[in-house]
Structure 1
Amino acid sequence: MRRRHCLGLLAAAALAPAFAPSAWAEAASFQTLDLDWHDAARGRAVPARLYLPVQADAAHPVPLVVFSHGIGGSRLGYRYLGEHWAAQGFASLHVQHVGSDRSLWGGNPFALVERLQGAAQDGEAIARVLDVRFALDTLLASPLAPRLDATRIAAAGHSYGANTTLLAAGARLDRQGRVVDFRDERIRAAILLSAPPFYGEADPRTILAHVTVPTLHVTATEDVIRIPGYYSGAEDRVSVFEATGSEAKALAVFQGGSHSIFTDRRGTGGATLNPQVKEATRALSVAFLKRVFDGDEAALRQWPGAFAGIVARFSRAGL
Structure 2
Amino acid sequence: MKSMEIIVNAPTPVISMKPVVLPAPGRGEDLQVRVSAPAAGHELPIILFSHGFGWSLDGYAPLVDYWAAHGFAVIQPTHLDSRTLNLPPDDPRTPLIWRHRVEDLKRILDELDRIEASVPGLSGRLDRSRIAAAGHSWGGQTASMLLGARVLDPDGGEGEDMSDSRVKAGVLLATPGRGGADLTPFAAERFPFMNPSFAHMTTPALVVAGDRDQSRLSVRGPDWFADPYRLSPGGNGKSLLTLFGAEHSLGGIPGYTVAETTDESPERVALIQRLAWAYLRSTLYPEDSSWAEARHALAEEPNPLGRVECD
TM-score (norm 2): 0.78
Cα deviation, 1:85-129, whole Å, max 9, x if unaligned, reads 11111110011102x11247x69xxxxxx95x9999651110100
Q: What is the total number of aligned residue pairs between the two structures?
A: 276
Partner-residue secondary structure (3-state), 2:159:
strand
Distance in 2 (CA, whole Å) between partners of 1:93 and 1:251 is 24
Distance of aligned partners of 1:185 and 1:257 in 2 relative to their CA distance in 1, 3 Å threshold:
same
Cα deviation, 1:187-233, whole Å, max 9, x if unaligned, reads 0001000010253377x99821211111101111111222xx66563
Distance of aligned partners of 1:169 and 1:118 in 2 relative to their CA distance in 1, 3 Å threshold:
farther
Question: Which residue of structure 2 aligns with residue 259 of structure 1?
Answer: 248
Distance of aligned partners of 1:306 and 1:94 in 2 relative to their CA distance in 1, 3 Å threshold:
farther
Structure 2 residues without counterparts, runs of 5 or longer: 1-9, 183-193
Percent pairwise identity: 28
Question: Which residue of structure 1 aligns with residue 226 of structure 2?
Answer: 238
CA RMSD of aligned residues (A): 3.1
Distance of aligned partners of 1:120 and 1:191 in 2 relative to their CA distance in 1, 3 Å threshold:
farther
Question: Which residue of structure 1 aligns with residue 189 of structure 2?
Answer: none
Question: Which residue of structure 2 aligns with residue 18 of structure 1?
Answer: none
Question: Which residue of structure 2 aligns with residue 134 of structure 1?
Answer: 107
Partner-residue secondary structure (3-state), 1:83:
helix
Partner-residue secondary structure (3-state), 2:131:
strand
**Regions of 4+ moved over 4 Å:** 117-122, 229-232
How far off its partner does 1:43 sit? 3.0
How far off its partner does 1:173 sit? 3.0
1:311 and 2:302 aligned = no
TM-score (norm 1): 0.76
1:248 and 2:237 aligned = yes
How far off its partner does 1:244 sit? 1.9
Question: Which residue of structure 2 aligns with residue 297 of structure 1?
Answer: 289
Distance in 2 (CA, whole Å) between partners of 1:306 and 1:42 is 49
Report if the CA contact (8 A) 2:144-2:201 is conserved: yes
Cα deviation, 1:11-36, whole Å, max 9, x if unaligned, reads xxxxxxxxxxxxxxx99611001112
Partner-residue secondary structure (3-state), 2:79:
coil
Distance of aligned partners of 1:243 and 1:120 in 2 relative to their CA distance in 1, 3 Å threshold:
farther
Cα deviation, 1:150-175, whole Å, max 9, x if unaligned, reads 00000000000000001111112342
User: Following superposition of structure 1 onto structure 2, how do residues 95-134 of structure 1 map, counting pairs within 5 Å?
Assistant: 95-98=77-80, 100-103=81-84, 115=89, 123-134=96-107
Cα deviation, 1:136-158, whole Å, max 9, x if unaligned, reads 21124442452110000000000
User: Which residue type is aligned with residue 244 of structure 1?
Assistant: S
Distance in 2 (CA, whole Å) between partners of 1:270 and 1:153 is 31
